[in-house]
Structure 1
Amino acid sequence: MGERAPTTQSPYRIQVLDRALAILELLWKQGPELSQAELIERLGLNKSTVRRLLKVLEQHRLIEKSPSNGKYRLGLKLFEMGSSAVSHLDVRERARSHLEQLVLETGETAHFCILDRGEVLYLDKHEPPRTMRVPSTVGKRNPAHCTGVGKALLAFLPERELEELVRQRGLRAFTPNTITTLVELKQELALIRQRGYSIDNEEFEEGLKCIGAPVRDYSGRVVASVSIAGPAFRLTDERIPILARSVVAAARAISRDLGYRGAEGDEEVEAEHSRRGAAAPKR
């Protein structure tokens, strides 16, 4: 097929760069996922050109190819670019006030994370004024299968992608409570999807518990997770369902800020989150 030239008249444009950027823009505006055939059709370029561009973009982690369906989506390298990428992430900035409010509501440490190459990457952390600290750091990576933030993300992966991730990384045991089989993990993730939040029941570190919930972008795709973490003696079985409402509400509020229109009932949960934000938790 004939290849369309760039429409702008600027003499400084470089054709191959224009085309690569056009792919990124298509995935951004018309994604979240597009096949190679869809990209060829919408760009009006030939197959070999698009294939070469996709290969280069994938090598640089600017795009990712889904193991489950072979389609392409924007890659997390876009979130890491620049000398201070993490500190300037728009999504991180949008999450910040909600994390601060979550700390006020629960009195526990709040985290904001993404899934990157099968691991949890911590983008932000907010702590209450307590002497007992949660051993986590912005920029740190942890396994996904045994953390609250990680399981909240894994729960919404396509099944084949989850299986491939487990095949590559395994399910290492960190404590006696760690899930170490794919069957058990799938059962746990189904429960997370059903109730809307995850629980790390001392699965990564003994004495530490975590409650996580998924964050969605404008398309409804799960792109991040929010959690609170604290010592097991504070995150008791009785308190977890109460604390989980605040975590879910914070995740939904961030999702709204990212353009997600949400499901029925979200507004009521977020309204309660807002009403409770000014008050510290009672002990």
Structure 2
Amino acid sequence: MVNPKPSDRQINSTVIKALTVLEKVAFANGGISLADLVKELDMPKTTIYRLIETLKHCDYIHLDANTERYYVGWKTVQIGVSGLNNIEVVDIAAPYLTKLAEKTGETAFLAGYYNGEIVYLYKKEGTQSIRTTAQLGMRRPVHCTAVGKAILSTFTWEEVEKILEEKGMKKYTENTITDAHKLRKELLEIKRNGYAIDREEIEIGLTCYAVPIFNFTGNMAGSIGLGGPTTRMRENQNDFTSQLKEAAFQVSRMLGYVPKIGGETVER
């Protein structure tokens, strides 16, 4: 039996205030002082101090005695990391890929990386999608798939070279990139544009776009892609890639990723 949503009377206002204080401390770059908390929160100074002392006593907040600034404590970090470690990327990505497939009518994919190849972890077909040979659990090369190239774009070139040396660059169609220098140039382009393209490189008639996703450690967690008939994909490239990048951002955010610009974390 599902418990009903608590009423305003059932919600403990003290708990809400404590969580509000904890959030302020957690998202403050370089810690935060008591004076700044008082300025930013609509609470009496005595209330904030009382809540901080309780959170500090329970190791959710830490006070740096030298700077008199508050930071998150080890228990807050422990709980956050524990929760993130229990997140399954497929469970997080599936709803976003379903929406992508429904809105575009094309097939949406989630791919992971394993031992120099990509592995399809999830697939959602749209109403207009064409049948592809890509199936769940199937492995495919990284050099000629959009999801693979999106993943490669997050690696150093030295790492990419090792993969290519081990796996090679097999030619699947006349469009397959088989030259390492050409691939390197394309990976730089992917970084600039924010998405990868498979221009009928593994299946004639099939064009795909893909964007990498990241987890709470800032590391690549895979990539999501959208594929369909070349004509439709090209006609809708700007719209599809925009939707794909937004979905990738949301999936990464749900995985705990916070992008950084100029060394500082930013919120979208």
With the shorter chain as reference, the TM-score category is: 0.5 to 0.7
**How many pairs does the alignment contain?**
180
- Seen in structure 2, the aligned counterparts of structure 1 residues 258 and 127 have a Cα distance that, compared at 3 Å, is same
Judge conservation of contact 2:153–2:191 (CA < 8 Å) in 1. yes
Secondary structure, in 3 states, of the residue corresponding to 2:202?
A: coil
TM-score with structure 1 setting the length: 0.60
* Letter aligned with residue 250 of structure 2: A
Preserved contact between residue 109 and residue 134 of structure 1 (Cα < 8 Å): no
Q: CA deviation at 1:228?
A: 0.4
Once the 2 structures are TM-superposed, how far is the Cα of residue 146 of structure 1 from its aligned partner? 0.3
Q: CA deviation at 1:134?
A: 2.5
Matches within 5 A, 1:1-283: 90-130=88-128, 132-236=130-234, 238-263=235-260
Unaligned runs of 5+ in 2: 1-85
Closer, same or farther: CA 139–180 of 1 in aligned 2, 3 Å:
same
Q: What is the alpha-carbon distance in structure 2 between the residues aligned to residue 159 and residue 135 of structure 1? A: 29
Deviations, residues 251-272 of structure 1 (Å, cap 9, x unaligned): 11100000011257x976xxxx
Q: Is the alpha carbon distance of 1:89 and 1:258 closer, same or farther for their aligned partners in structure 2, counting shifts above 3 Å? A: closer
Structure 1 gaps, min length 5: 1-87, 269-283
Contact 2:100 2:243 in 1 (8 A): yes
**Native 8 Å contact 1:106 1:246 kept in 2:** no
Runs (4+) of structure 1 exceeding 3 A deviation are none
Please tell me whether the aligned partners of residues 215 and 226 of structure 1 are also in contact (alpha carbons under 8 angstroms): yes
Deviation at 1:129, TM superposition (A): 2.8
Deviations 1:54-100 (A, max 9, x none): xxxxxxxxxxxxxxxxxxxxxxxxxxxxxxxxxx9711101111111
Distance in 2 separating the partners of 1:145 and 1:124:
20
Conservation of the 8 A alpha-carbon contact between 2:106 and 2:226: yes
Distance in 1 (CA, whole Å) between partners of 2:244 and 2:228 is 13
Q: TM-score, normalised by structure 2?
A: 0.64
Give the letter aligned to residue 237 of structure 2.
I
Query: Of the two, which has the highest radius of gyration?
Result: 2
Counterpart Cα distance in 2 of 1:196 and 1:219: 20
Q: Deviations over 1:192-232 (max 9, x none)?
A: 01110000000111100000000001122112100001011
Q: For 1:234, what is the secondary structure of its paired residue?
A: helix
**What secondary structure does 2:120 align onto?**
strand
In structure 1, how many angstroms separate the alpha carbons of the residues matched to 2:99 and 2:87?
19
Deviation at 1:131, TM superposition (A): 6.7
Counterparts of 1:131 and 1:202, CA distance in 2: 15
Q: Secondary structure of 1:254's match?
A: helix
Give the Cα separation in 1 of the matches to 2:87 and 2:172: 31
Residue 205 of structure 1 aligns to a residue whose secondary structure is: coil
CA distance in structure 2 between the partners assigned to 1:151 and 1:166 by the alignment: 12
Query: Is the CA contact 2:104–2:126 (under 8 Å) kept in the aligned structure 1?
Result: no
